[in-house]
Amino acid sequence: MERIVEQGLLYDFYGELLTEHQKKIYEDVVYNDLSLSEIAQENGISRQGVHDMVRRCNHMLTEYENKLHLVERFLKIRSGVDEMKHLSENTELTKEEILGRVNSLCCEILKEL
């Protein structure tokens, strides 16, 4: 499951850098959960061809992330926002403690932007 989420995030951020043909096949595998045989038959290519293309796309998307780190930054920012939400619901901390932590989280998020 975690691999599918990772593939989805990479595709969401970098999918537009793939060709239309690559996007269609990758979407069929990741989002539409079609088998390699179904995709091969639909596109008139071999099952091995589909497998190779998906592997190449995964490699390309991972390389984009290794260079640009957009998904990593997004996940850090989302984590900070989630923590702020939990802090706003916390009744055990004082107002000053919450404000101090929120201020710290805001600084961390601004560094990521």
Mean pLDDT of 96-102: 86
Higher pLDDT pick, 103 / 49: 49
Q: What is the pTM of this model?
A: 0.82
Question: Over 80: is that where the pLDDT of 1 sits?
Answer: no
Q: What is the mean pLDDT of the chain?
A: 92
pLDDT digits (tens, 9 = 90+) for 33-57: 999 999 999 999 999 999 999 999 9
DSSP code string of the chain? -HHHHHHHHHHHHHGGGS-HHHHHHHHHHHTS---HHHHHHHHTS-HHHHHHHHHHHHHHHHHHHHHH-HHHHHHHHHHHHHHHHHHHH-SSS-HHHHHHHHHHHHHHHHHH-
